[in-house]
């Protein structure tokens, strides 16, 4: 658009938002048509059937690729639909995935309940060091699956170092032609779930990742009113088999869902600044409260990954995870007492939410697996919204008093 690279907010607002050529509408209209009239068989304007392509979805995908600094993007009906498409497109029975053990419960569920029975070997790494990931990677490994910050314990993984450690190990997935792909022959495809950070704070492709996954339901949509997912690729050739699955399996978002997500992205930068500011104040307050046994937040100087967060991210995020003294009874009392923090699934909306991972987002994990990685019954996850932070702290203070009883 200009002679210099566009800044993040400019890309978020302008890419995929060209004025409508027929009316001049500044905001492109939502295209709801399920089919498109062709001049003759196969002669059309790039759109034939809305499952395959849709103008509103195309605009969103252009924006997603721009804000993640990728070559191309594919939008899905949910983050897990994107996860499914990656695995179905790039893996075959006998292949293996290496993933960090602290990950979203829904990802664990689809790995264990869908793809392990399908014939995949899923290997979980308990150690964050690059050497540990490299040790689990062999010639059957086609995907390296990273989440950073992790859900729910907010560990950070050094993307650049881990990518470097597994290059030359593992194998490029069968559907891809190494000669045509920038990453071909370098080892497994590296996928980073960037949902917790958002592209406003972290760009995994710039750190060496091949694919970025988002639940756009969270910070990208930002208003808790639309479900969606996205996959962004560093190399368009890597996206080809994923886009094939997007069309063939049909897990696509509706035009209205695409519009809402795209609308939310326009304010992502300013929202993330407030999320980060509020979360930092709450984390510092929480660590002074006797009712909390542990407080996890990458912005705290004593967080083990604080230095990595400062170097890898542009902010520390809007998530704070705490362990209450008193176990589940205290957690239940706490979560039943908040007025501004809604007890609800999900995260990343303008409003504050409180979640109990063991019962809610990570219930699909067996208890012994949850507890081994630290998801204990007293653990709660705060998605800090953009309300007045003093009001949020007062809400949490009252809930702590209820938990203490």
Closest CA to 262 of 87, 7, 66, 6: 66
Region at 21 (left for phi over 0; alpha for psi -120 to 50; beta for the rest):
alpha
Catalytic residue among 57, 100, 102, 104: 104
Distance CA 40, CA 66 (A): 34
Q: What angle do CA 21, 24, 27 make, to 5 degrees?
A: 100
Q: How many residues does the chain have?
A: 405
Is residue 51 annotated as part of the catalytic site, yes or no?
yes
Q: How many C-beta atoms surround the C-beta of residue 113 within 10 A?
A: 11
Beta bridge partners of 143: 97, 189
Q: Is 289 helix (H, G, I), strand (E, B) or coil?
A: coil
Distance CA 94, CA 359 (A): 32
Is residue 193 annotated as part of the catalytic site, yes or no?
yes
Is residue 218 annotated as part of the catalytic site, yes or no?
yes
Residue-wise DSSP of 292-359: EEEEE-TTSTTSTTHHHHHHH-SS--SEEEEEETTHHHHHHHHHHH-SSSEE-S---SSS-EEE-TTT
Catalytic residue among 57, 142, 186, 218: 218
Distance CA 399, CA 321 (A): 15
Q: How many C-beta atoms surround the C-beta of residue 99 within 10 A?
A: 22
Catalytic residue among 158, 193, 377, 395: 193
Q: How many C-beta atoms surround the C-beta of residue 127 within 10 A?
A: 12
Q: Which residues contact 389 (CB under 8 A, 6 or more apart)?
A: 277, 278, 281, 282
Give the rounded distance of the alpha carbon of 37 from its chain centre.
36
Does the N-terminal peptide bond of residue 215 adopt cis geometry, omega within 30 degrees of 0? Answer: no
Q: Which residues are catalytic?
A: 51, 104, 193, 218
């Amino acid at each position: 658009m200009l002679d210099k690279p566009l800044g993040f907010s400019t890309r978020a607002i302008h890419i995929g938002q060209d004025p409508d050529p027929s009316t001049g509408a500044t905001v492109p209209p939502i295209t709801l048509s399920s089919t498109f009239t062709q001049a003759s068989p196969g002669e059309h304007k790039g759109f034939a059937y809305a499952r395959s392509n849709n103008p509103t979805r195309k605009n969103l995908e252009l924006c997603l690729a721009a804000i993640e600094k990728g070559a191309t993007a594919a939008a899905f009906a949910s983050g897990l639909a994107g996860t499914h498409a990656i695995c179905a497109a790039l893996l075959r029975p006998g292949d293996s995935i290496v993933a960090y053990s602290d990950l979203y419960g829904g990802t664990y569920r689809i790995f264990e309940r869908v793809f392990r029975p399908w014939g995949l070997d899923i290997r979980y790494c308990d150690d964050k060091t690059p050497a540990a990931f490299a040790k689990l990677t062999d010639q059957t490994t086609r995907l390296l699956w990273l989440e950073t910050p992790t859900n729910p314990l907010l560990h950070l993984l050094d993307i650049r170092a881990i990518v470097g450690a597994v290059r030359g190990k593992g194998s490029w997935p069968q559907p891809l032609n190494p000669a045509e792909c920038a990453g071909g022959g370098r080892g497994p495809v590296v996928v980073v779930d960037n949902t917790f950070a958002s592209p406003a704070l972290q760009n995994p492709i710039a750190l060496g990742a091949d694919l970025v996954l988002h639940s756009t339901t969270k910070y990208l949509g930002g208003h808790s009113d639309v479900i969606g997912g996205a996959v962004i690729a560093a190399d368009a050739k890597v996206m080809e088999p994923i886009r094939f699955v997007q069309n063939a399996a049909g897990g696509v978002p509706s035009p209205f869902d695409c519009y809402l997500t795209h609308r939310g992205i326009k304010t992502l930068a300013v929202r993330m600044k407030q999320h980060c500011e509020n979360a930092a104040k709450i984390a510092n307050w929480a660590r002074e409260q006797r009712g909390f046994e542990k407080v996890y937040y990458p912005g705290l100087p004593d967080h083990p990954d604080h230095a990595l967060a400062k170097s890898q991210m542009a902010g520390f995020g809007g998530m704070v995870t705490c362990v209450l003294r008193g176990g589940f009874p205290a957690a239940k009392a706490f979560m039943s007492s908040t007025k501004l923090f809604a007890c609800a699934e999900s995260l990343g909306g303008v409003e504050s939410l409180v979640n109990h991972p063991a019962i809610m987002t990570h219930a699909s994990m067996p208890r012994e697996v949850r507890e081994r990685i630290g998801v204990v019954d007293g653990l709660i996850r705060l998605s800090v919204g953009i309300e007045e932070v003093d009001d949020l702290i007062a809400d949490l203070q009252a809930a702590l008093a209820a938990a203490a009883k």
